[in-house]
Each structure stands twice: as C-alpha cells, then as structure tokens.
Amino acid sequence: MSPPGWGGNLLRGLFNSVLIAAGAYSIGIMVGIAGAFGKLYGGPVLRDLLELYTTIVRAVPELVLILLLYFAGTDLINRLLEAFGYQRIDINGLVAGICVLGIVQGAYSTEVIRGAILAIPQGQIEAARAYGMSPGLLLRRITLPAMLPFAIPGLANLWLIATKDTALLAIVGFNELTQETRTAASTTKAYFTFFLVAGALYLLLTLFSNVIIARVEKWARRGMHVESH
C-alpha cells in the first residue's frame, strides 16, 4: 500500500499538467486577442474564416481535435521538413500538447475577448483615435487594459478548463497527472487510493487558482465605478 516513490511521480505529473495548462493558456490568449481583432476589424473573408474556426472547435469534442491536430500536425511538419530536404524530427509530446490545447483554448478566448472589447464604452476608443494614437498604441494603452475587467471572469473560467483539459492528453499517452496516476494505480493495484489523491491534487489546484483569480479580478477592477445594489 505504500510503495516508495509514487508520490514523487504524481507531483511530477502535476507539474507537467500545470506547465501544459499555462503554456496552452498563454497561446490561447494570444490566439484569442488576434482572433477577436480579426473578427471585429478584419475583412469579410477573414471574419468568416474565424467564425468557422470558433464554431468548429467549439462543436467538436476536444478529444477528437487533440487526436486530429496531434496526428495531422506532426505529420504535416515532418512532410514539410522532408520536402525542404531536412531530416524528420521527433516532435516533443509536451510541445505538441501545448500547441494543440492552445488552438482549442484560442477559439474560446476569441469569443471571450471579442465580447469584452465590445463592452468597452465606445467613446474611450474614439477619444484615443482622436488623439492620433496608432493602432498598436491604441491596443496597448486603451483596448487591452480597458477590456480586462470585462474579460477576466471568462478568462478565469478558461484557465480552470485548461487545467482540466490537460487530463485529455493522458489518452495520447502524455505523462501528466492523470496518466501518472493510472500508471501508479495499475502497478500497485491501489486504484481507489491513487485516483482519490489525484482528484485532491486537481481540486487543490482549482481552489488555489480561485484565490489568485479573486485577487486579480480585484486588481483589474481598481478605479472602476462600483455598482451598488
């Protein structure tokens, strides 16, 4: 019942899970910002393509997308490398997992950020344009900070989804927390104990994230008009 060393494996799995979640989340936010701007200010073709992207990603199960992107992505990169005369490379599972989950997260954060930008009082953006700010400066100084309070509840939710979606990579065989747990459990036959411990670890991660999110939300809302009910 007490095999030495499995605790370390679980913690390593947890670390990997957090790493993937953080990486995927950052990629997702970058894709989301680009996607939201494309949807709001882009041309008609770009807008339709982005609509297609968000609709398909949000309608097809993550598991299917992960398999499709994982197989297709690694295959495509290797074929491109071969076509240009380079050696085939063995793509790191960690990087592939981060990219695939990042693309999935990007679709959701596109919608969140688009909604948040639409919630900014239009006068603020017009005033910045009237000052002659370039689009880049406008984005950095006005749009991104002003949309943050509106986007944070949605983005916080996406972070929690990202931490839980890392479990799906267990099916592709990546050694994150769920996969490590299954290995440990099937080796020691103590299924009940190990899955309980892994659940507790995930729960702790969620509760800890909730505390941080509450702090960040308070910070992002500083100086905003507080509605009194």
Partner 1 sequence: MAEPATARLVDAGARASLWLQPHRIGLIAVGVVLVVCAALFMRWDWLPNYYGLALEGIWRTLWILVVTCVLGFMLAVPIGLVQVTGPRWLSVPAYWFCTVIRGTPLLLQLWFLYYGLGSLFPQYPWIRESFLWPYLRQAWPYAVLSLTLSYAAYEGEVMRGAFAGVARGQLEAARAFGMSRWKVFRRIWLPQAIYRALPTLTGETVLQLKATPLVATITVVDIYAVASRVRQSTFIVYEPLLLLAVVYLCITGILVFAFRKLEARIPARLG
Phi/psi at 121 (nearest 5 deg)? Answer: -55, 125
Beta carbons within 10 angstroms of residue 78's beta carbon: 16
Q: Which of residues 35 and 180 has its CB atom nearest to partner 1 in the complex?
A: 180
Report angle CA 162, 152, 16 to the nearest 5 degrees.
Answer: 25
Quote the DSSP letter at residue 121: -
Q: How far is the CB of 143 from partner 1 (least distance, A)?
A: 27
CB 205, min distance to partner 1, A = 8
Tokens at residue 98, please? 């981060």
Nearest CA among 24, 19, 54 for reference residue 36? 54
Closest Cα to residue 108, out of 55, 37, 65?
55
Minimum distance from residue 153 beta carbon to partner 1 (Å): 13
From residue 73, how far is each of 58, 93, 150, 176 by CA, in Å?
19, 12, 34, 21
Binding site for partner 1 (CB under 8 A): 44-45, 48-49, 56, 58-65, 67-68, 71-72, 160, 164-168, 170-171, 178, 181-182, 185, 189, 191-192, 195-196, 198-199, 202-203, 205-207
Nearer to partner 1, 16 or 181 (CB): 181
Smallest separation, CB 164 to partner 1 (Å)? 4
Shortest separation between residue 204's beta carbon and partner 1, angstroms: 9
Nearer to partner 1 by Cβ, of 125 and 182: the residue is: 182
Residue 77: in which H helix or E strand, if any? Answer: helix 62-83
Q: Which is nearer to partner 1, 142 or 156 (CB)?
A: 156
Least distance to partner 1 from the beta carbon of 218, Å?
21
Backbone angles phi, psi at 89, to 5 degrees: -115, 155
Task: For partner 1, give the closer residue by CB, 49 or 127.
Answer: 49
DSSP string, 207-225: HHHHHHHHHHHHHHTTTSP
Closest to partner 1 by CB, 26 vs 193, is 193
